[in-house]
Amino acid sequence: MTFDERVFYRNRRVLITGGLGFIGSNLARRLVDLGAEVLVVDSLIPDYGGNLFNIDGVEDRLTVNISDVRDESSMNYLVRGQDVIFNLAGQVSHVDSMKDPYTDLEINCRSQLSLLEACRKNSPRVKIVFAGTRQVYGHPDSLPVTEDHLVRPVDVNGINKVAGEYYHLVYNNAFGIRTCSLRLTNVYGPRQLVKHNRQGFIGWFIRLAVEDREIELFGDGSQVRDFVFVDDAAEAFLKAGASEECDGGVYNIGGTEPLSLRDLVQKLLGVAKAGRVRYVEWPPEKKRIDIGDFYADSSKFTRTVGWRPTVSLDEGLTRAVTFYREHLEHYVGDA
C-alpha cells in the first residue's frame, strides 16, 4: 500500500533526534517544506555529525533543542505531544566503538532505552522510526541481503545498534509504542560529516575528490557496496513514519545499483573532474571488521510502502560534489 506523505505531515508534530546530523537535517528540511512542526534535538558532540549549518536557511521554520538523548529528563519533556519521532541520534563510528566500547554503549543502547521509556511514560501514542544499519548483518552469507539474514555484527557498534533496534521492536510488541527500524546501507549526499574518515568512507571520498586529493582504496577495491542518496533515505523515513503497515518491522533501505569501490571511485573522479586514486594495503584494524561484499534487498519495504531509490549514483554524486564545492568551509575545520 502506498500513500501520500505530503498530506500526512502537514501540521504534524515531529521530533528528530540527531536532527542536526546528516540524514536528520535533510529530513528536517523536507518536513519543513511539507508543513510539519519540526523539533530538532541534537547534542552537537564534536566529531559526531551535528552541524548547525545543516539547517542554514530553514532555521526560522523549525525549533532546535540542544540536548543529549542520554539525558532522561530532557527526553521526558521533549517527547510530549509529538506525533512522530525520527530517531537518528547515534554514535556511528565503527572504529571508535572498538577503542571506546563504553561510550558507544551509552549512546547506542542506553539512550535508546531513555527515549523509549520517555515515550512509554509520556507519549505512548507516538510513532517512532529508528535509524538502523546494514552493519548488523556482518559478513553476508548470500547476496542481496534480505531481512531474513542472520544478525551477526562484526564490531561493538554493530552490536549496540542492533540492541537499540531490538529495544524498539520489544517496546512495539510489549508496550504498544509503535516503532519500526530502517536498516540503512551506505547513505551519501549533502550535509554529511566529512571532517574525518571514521564515519564511513563515502563522504570522505567525496571530500577528497572535491579537494583534488588522493583517495586511498584498501586492497584492490573490489568490495561491492550499494549506496543510497540522502533524499531517498529521507523519503524512506517519511513513508515509514506515516505507515501503520510498518509497525513492529525491520526494513532494509538499499541503493540503486551495487558496484565495487573501484568503480565508485572512478565514477566520483569523473563527476568531480578532480582527485585521484591509490591502492594500499588493508590496515589490520579495519580489515578485521570489514564485511566483504554487501548489498541489500529492499523489496520488503517496497512492497510495504511503495518506496524505492530514485536518485542514480551519477546524479547523486553530482549533487554531492556541487554541494561541497559550494559549502566545504562549513564541513571541514578543526577535526
Question: Hey, what's the cell of 127?
Answer: 510513532
Rounded Cα distance, 160 and 193, in Å: 21
Cβ proximity of 210 and 328 under 8 Å? yes
Q: Closest separation between CB of residue 296 and a copy of itself, Å?
A: 17
| Window of 20-28, 59-67, 168-176, 263-271 that interacts with a copy of itself by CB under 8 A | 168-176
Rounded Cα distance, 111 and 13, in Å: 21
156 binds a copy of itself (CB under 8 A): yes
Q: Closest separation between CB of residue 31 and a copy of itself, Å?
A: 30
Member of 170, 224, 328, 332 binding a copy of itself (CB under 8 A): 170
* Long-range CB contacts (within 8 A, 24+) of 76-81: 76/118, 76/121, 76/122, 77/122, 78/15, 78/39, 78/41, 78/118, 79/15, 79/115, 79/118, 79/119, 79/122, 79/123, 79/126, 80/122, 80/123, 81/13, 81/123
Per-residue binding string, a copy of itself, 21-60, x by CB under 8 A, is: ----------------------------------------
Give the residue among 169, 202, 170 at the shortest CA–CA distance from 187: 202
311 binds a copy of itself (CB under 8 A): no
Per-residue binding string, a copy of itself, 89-118, x by CB under 8 A, is: ---------x--xx--x---xx--x---x-
Q: Which residue has the cell 552541524?
A: 51
154 binds a copy of itself (CB under 8 A): yes
Member of 163, 224, 259, 332 binding a copy of itself (CB under 8 A): 163
User: Which residues of this chain interact with a copy of itself, rule CB under 8 A?
Assistant: 98, 101-102, 105, 109-110, 113, 117, 148, 150-156, 158-160, 162-163, 166-167, 169-170, 173-174, 288-289
